[in-house]
Structure 1
Amino acid sequence: MEDNIKDAISANIAVHSAMANDYNTIEPHFRPESIKRVDDIIQKLHKESSFSKVLDLGCGTGFMINIVKKYASEIVGVDVTQAMMDKVDKSGNASITLINSDTGTVELPQKHFDLATAYTFLDHLYDMKPTFSNAFNALKDGGVFYADLSPNYYFWNDVKKVDATKQYDPILQREINAVLSKDAEIEAQFGIDKNIFQTAEHQKHIKGGLVEEELRDLLMEAGFKKVEFIYHWFIGQAQLINDENTEKTKRFEQAEIMHDYLTKALPVSRNLFKYIGFIATK
């Protein structure tokens, strides 16, 4: 397993070093509506816990840091790719420290942080268990671990079962292309070998996504006492919010209504959401 972990780390460094200069412009989670969604979650967590010390695991170019630094006094970001961390904006009142290291082995102060985050990152790990243990040990009692935008196994598995030789409505065709052709797209755009890209996102491309039940078991094994899951981005949401035949505000209202209905239908509806996240409490 140790060699597999090293391979995943090396692949991540290679992939994200190549993507660092373009990452903030090509990744959809940097769009204003996506930032607002996460900011709303962070605001709610801040109201509930008044966190001040934050640990951001897999911090990349600073997506989460840019949001939490409005609320925190101290932030520590950890990432294996220095080229990504070089893009982090350290301006503002919060003290920001960046550590170039693997999140599973990095040495962190124990019982120090109020909040740990991992955004669109967990699928990059070959083994999530060491990172979960590190997050747990670094959090104070009552601290919260928030992770989000990881590939949902139940969605990916259903899409992979579809006969890709046939043509479908654009709602489904878009997702088939995203699931089956993303590695080829990245290879064409950045010259990254498909096999390296797949190794860099082991939990997504090799294991097929994150499974709620497995995540719960790993988090509880690490010591967390409560886990709430978040499902995000239902199939067809992109087409709905980008429909120029409808006024923009109305599009987003419709998307929110659909999201709320599908969320109320969980767990039956979970295979309709592309991403999974969680809020785990120590």
Structure 2
Amino acid sequence: MEQNIYAKVVEANIALHSKMSEHYNTCEPHFRPENVAKVEANFLKAIEGMNAEKMLDLGCGTGFMINIGKKYVKEIWGVDVTKAMTDRIDKSGNAEIIVINEDTAQAPLPVNYFDVATAYSFLHHLYEITPTLHNAYNSLKEGGKLYADLDPNYYFWEGVNQLDRNGNYDFIVKREIEAVTYKDEDIEKNFGVSKEIFNHAEFGKNIQGGFRDEELIATLKSVGFTKVEFFYHWFIGQGALINDQSYTKEERFKYAEVMNETLQKALPLSKNLFKYIGFIATK
């Protein structure tokens, strides 16, 4: 039964992302310049102090992390099960880019080869993350880093899923109810992909409810990673704040940064207010 679900999740990802591939770079907000800049800063933090030349990108999709990484490394291997996505990777530039259409848990990768591995908005697409983490760990050099980001924070998802869709809440809460609990309706309407396929394609998010930091850290260490730096981002209401036209653009981003800094200082008490998590793990 477990093997059947595993295969169903892989097939659902191929079906969903084949359908979305043409519009993926424009419909996903992480391609916005301000987010690219934030992710690039985290990537540079991951490779700081090392002469990184070889990068592995797990769940590479249309090349979001590849576009960032190829400015800094000489060789990138991208792994993704959906050919319709990888066909859209921009291979221009000086870095050699190698694409493997395969399940990230089973992709044939060289051992002790990569300086850095990335997994952006990807781990929640897996039925079980441990096999993929093992594959990444084995492929990294000693001292290599795994940078993963934009995966769902269980504590945020849990809170939102308990709310009444018709409850008397502020707009920022109603917006999250629709985005978290009823996203499958939006995908079905706009891309013609059934709710079942969408929810299995985002198994770690929509069926398992996201990642608990303590469990994720324990899993990474059981695989062999010796150090894990964990971080939270995108607090509730941040989108509404940075798009509030009653303030100037400079004011919006300044206020959002002040709020973020305050909530970061309030961790762990504030962790249920952050939608996403990320980490840098060291081999």
Does the pair score TM above 0.5? yes
> Match for residue 38 of structure 2?
37
Provide, for residues 5-62 of structure 1, a one-character-per-residue CA deviation record: whole Å limited to 9, x for no partner: 1110000000000000000000000001100000111222333223111000000000
Count residues in correspondence: 282
1:93 CA drift (Å):
0.3
SS in 1 for 2:169: coil
Deviates most, 252-261 or 10-19: 252-261
Alpha-carbon distance in 1 for matches of 2:97, 2:127: 27
Deviates most, 245-254 or 17-26: 245-254
1:131 CA drift (Å):
0.4
> Match for residue 232 of structure 2?
231
* Aligned partners of 2:117 and 2:146 also within 8 Å: yes
* Aligned partners of 1:152 and 1:209 also within 8 Å: yes
Provide, for residues 237-282 of structure 1, a one-character-per-residue CA deviation record: whole Å limited to 9, x for no partner: 0010001111101111111111111111111111000001111000
Letter in 1 for 2:222: E
Letter in 2 for 1:129: T
> Match for residue 200 of structure 1?
201
> Match for residue 19 of structure 1?
20
Alpha-carbon distance in 2 for matches of 1:163, 1:100: 41
> Match for residue 180 of structure 1?
181
SS in 2 for 1:48: coil
Alpha-carbon distance in 1 for matches of 2:227, 2:246: 43
> Match for residue 171 of structure 2?
170
> Match for residue 273 of structure 1?
274
* Aligned partners of 1:46 and 1:71 also within 8 Å: no
Deviates most, 156-165 or 225-234: 156-165
> Match for residue 156 of structure 2?
155
> Match for residue 247 of structure 2?
246
> Match for residue 117 of structure 1?
118
Root-mean-square deviation over aligned CA pairs:
0.8
Alpha-carbon distance in 2 for matches of 1:4, 1:32: 37
Report the identity percentage: 56
> Match for residue 127 of structure 1?
128
Alpha-carbon distance in 2 for matches of 1:244, 1:269: 27
Provide, for residues 63-96 of structure 1, a one-character-per-residue CA deviation record: whole Å limited to 9, x for no partner: 0000010000000000000000011000000000
1:165 CA drift (Å):
2.5
* Aligned partners of 1:51 and 1:72 also within 8 Å: yes
> Match for residue 76 of structure 2?
75
> Match for residue 217 of structure 1?
218
Letter in 1 for 2:215: E
* Aligned partners of 1:59 and 1:77 also within 8 Å: yes
Letter in 2 for 1:198: N
| Uncovered stretches (5+) of structure 1, i.e. residues with no partner | none
> Match for residue 49 of structure 1?
50
Letter in 2 for 1:201: E
Letter in 2 for 1:159: V
| Uncovered stretches (5+) of structure 2, i.e. residues with no partner | none
Letter in 2 for 1:240: L
